[in-house]
Amino acid sequence: MTTIGVLGCGLMGAGIAQASAAAGFRTVVLEVDDATLARGLARIEKFLAGGVEKGKMTADEKARILANLSGTTSYDDLRDCGLVIEAIVEQVEAKRTAYARVEAVVGPDCLIATNTSSLCVTELAATTRRPDRFGGLHFFNPVPLMKLVEVIRAQTTSAATHDALLGVARAMGKEPVSAPDRGGFIVNRLLIPYLLDAIRCLEQGLGTVEDIDAAMKLGCGYPMGPFTLLDFVGLDTTYFIADILFDEFREARFAPPPLLKRMVLAGQLGRKSGRGFYTYA
């Protein structure tokens, strides 16, 4: 496999494209229009420039990574891909349309992987003509810094596809963990109830946002407290995943607390909207 396609150059897609290009794969990242593509590529350029500034890489390494990367708005440019990783909006219909457009141009051996954090991978695989050559590659934000990739085996994913996806994750310098196609996989199955519980604790007056964050950060050695992490992940994203988990398992611990719902309805989504549990400049 020499060429990898990435659908979507948002927060996750940009990180995945960067990791792929850094690993030496010829990487083609696709966006819906030129302006969105330019914003995504600028995000990658900025991260790499930050790496050079911090002494994490040389200017030559940055140039080598960028040379492996090209952006496009045309599905035709994905024709040589051995793997296409999809990181677009979390809507089954949008993904189904994107997969059909990929399948119209790629060869029969091309694998498709979704970066979905919460949708059923088996359902997505079933929308394609290659459910055996389809699986999940769930990256974590910020992709260039987070070592984990969950490699999801759908009901129909072949053993060869699963092994190939584990290999690609390793080639990208990540540490893959096989996870089953069950709501939330491993990380979100455990992380989301923890984050929801932190909101319930806040609602019940257990402590302030700052105190609960400080307690979990300093007491457990977590890099971020739950409210900093909620703002980082996005309150809308957390709410969306919680709803899917609740729908799948019908357990109260997955039910979104009232405060989370109200904050999402008010547009208080965390860092991305400038306000969540904290306010951002």
Q: Which of 82, 66, 91, 77 is nearest to 14 (CA)?
A: 66
Lookup: tokens for 264 = 């999402």
Pick the stretch among 29-37, 48-56, 166-174, 250-258 that binds ligand 3HC (CB under 6 A): 48-56
For ligand 3HC, the closer of residues 110 and 229 by Cβ is 229
For ligand 3HC, the closer of residues 110 and 169 by Cβ is 169
Catalytic annotation, pick one of 20, 68, 117, 118:
117
CA separation, residue 3 to residues 55, 74, 141, 281 (Å): 28, 16, 23, 39
| One residue of 8, 51, 256, 257 binding ligand 3HC per CB under 6 A | 51
Active site residue 273: no
Q: Which amino acid appears at position 240 of this protein?
A: F
| One residue of 2, 33, 35, 54 binding ligand 3HC per CB under 6 A | 54
Catalytic annotation, pick one of 31, 86, 118, 138:
138
Q: What is the side-by-side order of every strand in the sheet holding 134-139?
A: 69-72, 26-30, 3-7, 83-86, 111-114, 134-139, 148-153, 175-180
Give the number of residues in contact with ligand 3HC, rule: CB under 6 A.
17
| Whole-angstrom distance, CA of residue 8 vs CA of residue 149 | 18
**Strand-pair category, 69-72 with 83-86:** unpaired
Pick the stretch among 44-52, 197-205, 213-221, 246-254 that binds ligand 3HC (CB under 6 A): 44-52
What backbone torsions phi and psi does residue 172 show, to the nearest 5 degrees? Answer: -85, 5
Rounded to the nearest angstrom, the gap between the alpha carbon of residue 48 and the centroid of all alpha carbons in its chain is: 19
Active site residue 117: yes
Q: Which of residues 57-116 bind ligand 3HC (CB under 6 A)?
A: none
Nearest distance from residue 9's CB to ligand 3HC, in Å?
17
Nearest distance from residue 88's CB to ligand 3HC, in Å?
14
| Whole-angstrom distance, CA of residue 134 vs CA of residue 153 | 8
Tell me, residue by residue from 210 to 229, as one string, x for binding to ligand 3HC by CB under 6 A and - for no binding.
-------------xx----x
Q: Which of 100, 120, 253 is nearest to 112 (CA)?
A: 100
- Our finding on whether 145 is near ligand 3HC (CB under 6 A) is yes
Active site residue 70: no
Pick the stretch among 18-26, 141-149, 156-164, 197-205 that binds ligand 3HC (CB under 6 A): 141-149
Nearest distance from residue 8's CB to ligand 3HC, in Å?
14
Dihedral-angle region of residue 91 (phi above 0 means left; psi in -120 to 50 means alpha; beta otherwise): beta
Active site residue 138: yes
Rounded to the nearest angstrom, the gap between the alpha carbon of residue 151 and the centroid of all alpha carbons in its chain is: 12
| One residue of 37, 64, 132, 142 binding ligand 3HC per CB under 6 A | 142
Residues carrying an active site annotation: 117, 138, 150, 188
Residues that bind ligand 3HC (CB under 6 A): 47, 50-51, 54, 56, 117, 140-142, 145-146, 188, 223-224, 229, 233, 237
